[in-house]
Amino acid sequence: MNRTGSTALIFIAFAGLAAWFTASTKLRIAIGLLGILFSTFYEISDEAVFEWLTSAVQRPSPTGFIFLIIFVINAATSHDFKPNSEFRFAAYTFSAAGLILYPGAVGFLSFDPYVYGYSGYLLPSTIAVLLGYSIYKGYWISTAAINLGLCMYVLEMGPSLNFWDYMIDPIAWVFAIASCIAILIYWVVPNPFGRIRNIKISQKQLS
């Protein structure tokens, strides 16, 4: 999975940029794939952009990668996931988990929650509650993502021995924070771009 995160990020960047110029899903996908191809040839400091990004973002968590797939779909299709309750649940959960984990991990707090990923019952119990809630609400993608992370951790399918690394990663956290901001804007001003477009159409009709 080392290169899956960088592949998704490059696709999101290029397909998302293409979305400003075209509504064609096929064209966006093509541009996203060309972006991935381009990144394997273009170099930064004698290293291909793709490899540089792979080393920078490291290995995505299983749950984080599935969360990232949502943005791949969004970049290709412009499908709006903000009204979806499961998407909001995932965004809120990743955001909260990152706010708990990363400030302590980088030294801003006097304790490091990362150590709970090596032993103890606090983190597994929390994950069990989230899994149970996902099943109860019928959030099957979230259920599958959590189970995937659990299986990979139990089977030691990743290089890390820390449970946290199978549940969240910095890239997923950044996307989750951005999603929460977008959800807040959506609540305050539903479909702002649609409103702008309607205003422009009305102005043209008046003129």
Half-sphere exposure of 192 (CA within 13 A, CB side): 9
Distance, in Å, from the CA atom of 128 to the CA atom of 207, rounded to the nearest integer, reads: 60
Structure tokens belonging to residue 158:
């990743």
Residue 105 lies in a domain: yes
Domain identity same for 113 and 196: yes
Q: Tell me: the pLDDT tens digits for 112-121? A: 889 989 988 9
Domain identity same for 27 and 67: no
- For residue 92, what pLDDT is reported? 96
Residue found by looking up tokens 């189970």 in the block: 147
Domain identity same for 33 and 123: no
- Number of structural domains the chain divides into: 2
- Name the pTM for this structure: 0.83
Residue-number span of the structural domain to which 137 is assigned: 61-202
Taking residue 49's Cβ as centre, other Cβ atoms within 10 Å add up to 18
Half-sphere exposure of 185 (CA within 13 A, CB side): 9
Domain identity same for 133 and 44: no
Domain identity same for 92 and 125: yes
Domain identity same for 171 and 193: yes
Q: Tell me: the pLDDT tens digits for 164-199? A: 999 999 999 999 999 999 888 887 766 655 554 444
**Pick the residue with more confidence: 52 or 126?**
126
